[in-house]
């Protein structure tokens, strides 16, 4: 994905603004990793869990009639795991220490999720030129036209 460097920069800025973060990753709604900044965590497994948690959260928010999914927070004995919406096709997952100011975490992760959503959705709208181009019509030549 062309925006991967920008996504990693946004994750670094988030970690700078919330020093208690122990990791962060951006995953597609299909469970594939788009970018990660979380060394001690199984990123592929976490991305798959993010997609599963996202699916459950979407169903739950829909069943409650409360509108679109925004975030899911899990408070555990040794810290937090949270999933934030990041546009139409991705989610931001963060891990934080138990001493984290959750209000600050929400503020910064929501901002980062919005920015990451712009990057991911924008990259999907404007694919790299190196990616496979759409099929041509049958009557259109497969070679470049000379002008």
pLDDT 10s digits, 91-120: 999 999 999 999 999 999 999 999 999 999
CB atoms within 10 A of CB 26: 31
Mean pLDDT of the chain: 84
Q: Whole-prediction pTM value?
A: 0.80
**Average pLDDT score over residue span 71-78:** 95
Phi, psi (rounded to 5 degrees) for 79: 145, -165
Q: What pLDDT score does 4 carry?
A: 84
Answer whether 70's CB lies under 8 Å from 84's CB.
yes
Question: Who's near 53: CB < 8 A, 6+ residues apart?
Answer: 72, 83
Phi, psi (rounded to 5 degrees) for 106: -60, -50
Answer whether 3's CB lies under 8 Å from 117's CB.
no
């Amino acid at each position: 994905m062309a925006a991967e460097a920008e996504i990693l920069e946004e994750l670094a800025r988030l970690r700078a603004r919330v020093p208690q973060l122990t990791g962060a990753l951006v995953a597609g709604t299909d469970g594939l990793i788009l970018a990660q900044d979380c060394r001690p965590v199984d990123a592929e497994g976490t991305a798959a869990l993010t997609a599963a948690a996202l699916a459950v959260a979407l169903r739950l928010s829909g069943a409650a009639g409360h509108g679109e999914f925004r975030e899911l927070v899990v408070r555990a004995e040794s810290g937090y795991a949270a999933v934030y919406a990041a546009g139409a096709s991705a989610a931001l997952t963060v891990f934080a220490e138990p001493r984290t100011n959750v209000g600050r975490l929400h503020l910064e992760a929501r901002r980062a999720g919005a920015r990451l959503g712009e990057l991911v959705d924008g990259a999907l709208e404007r694919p790299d030129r190196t990616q496979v181009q759409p099929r041509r019509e049958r009557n259109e030549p497969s070679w470049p036209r000379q002008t």
